[in-house]
Chain A
Amino acid sequence: MEAKGIKLRLAQHQPIPLDVEIECHVDELVALVGPSGSGKTTVLRTIAGLHHPESGQILCRDEIWLDRQQAIHVPTQKRHIGFVFQDYALFPHLTALQNVTIAMNGITTGQRASRARELLTQVNLKGLEDRFPGSLSGGQRQRVALARALAREPKILLLDEPFSAVDQVTRRKLQQELAILRRSIRIPILLVTHDLDEAAMLADRLYVLHKGQTLQNGKPIEVQRNPASALVARLMGHSNIFSATVEGHYPAEGITRISWRGRLLELELSESFAVGSTVNWVIHPSHIIMHRRDRPSFGERENPVHGVISEFLELGENAFLRLETDGDDEAYLNFTVSSHSAQRNNLSVGARAGVSLLANGIHLMPEH
Chain B
Amino acid sequence: MDTTALALSLQLAFWTCVILFPVGIFVGRLLAWYHFPGKAFVEAAIALPLVLPPTVLGYYLLIGMGSTSTLGQIYHQLIGRNLVFTFDGLLLASVIFNLPFAIQPMQRAFEAIPANIREAAWCCGLSRFQALLRIEFPLAWPGAVSALALTFAHTLGEFGVVLMVGGNIEGETKTIAIAIYDRVQAFDNATAGTMSAFLLVFSLVAIGLVYRLSYQRGRFGS
Q: A residues within 8 Å of B by Cβ?
A: 48-50, 75-77, 80-83, 85, 87, 89-93, 102-103, 105, 132-135, 148-149, 151-152
Contact = CB atoms under 8 A, between A and B. Distances in A.
B30 interface: no
Given A102-B134, A134-B222, A89 B120 contact: yes
B193 interface: no
A152 B125 contact: yes
Contacts of B138: 93
Contacts of B121: 91, 102
Contacts of B120: 83, 85, 89-91, 148
B131 to A, nearest CB: 9
Grouping DSSP codes into helix (H, G, I), strand (E, B) and loop, the A interface class, with mixed when no group exceeds half, is loop
A155 to B, nearest CB: 12
B123 A83 contact: yes
A212 B34 CA distance: 26
B51 interface: no
A92 B134 CA distance: 12
Contact of A89 (B114, B125, B127, B134): B114
Contact of A92 (B123, B127, B220): B220
Contacts, number: 70
Contact of B139 (A87, A89, A93, A103): A93
Contacts of A132: 220-221
Interface-central residue, B119, B120, B126, by most chain A CB under 10 Å: B120
For the side of the interface on B, what is the size category?
20 to 34
A105 B221 contact: no
B68 interface: no
Given A48-B123, A77-B127, A102-B126, A89 B116 contact: yes
20 contacts: A48-B123, A50-B119, A76-B119, A76-B123, A77-B125, A82-B123, A83-B119, A83-B120, A83-B123, A89-B114, A89-B117, A89-B120, A91-B117, A92-B222, A93-B139, A102-B134, A134-B220, A134-B222, A148-B124, A152-B124
Interface-central residue, B116, B125, B219, by most chain A CB under 10 Å: B125
B149 to A, nearest CB: 20
A91 B127 CA distance: 15
A77 B122 contact: yes
A341 B219 CA distance: 54
B215 to A, nearest CB: 14
Given A92-B117, A93-B139, A103-B124, 9 more contacts: A48-B123, A49-B122, A77-B125, A81-B123, A82-B123, A90-B120, A92-B222, A133-B221, A152-B125
Contacts of A93: 138-139, 220
B135 interface: yes
A294 B88 CA distance: 101
Contacts of B219: 134
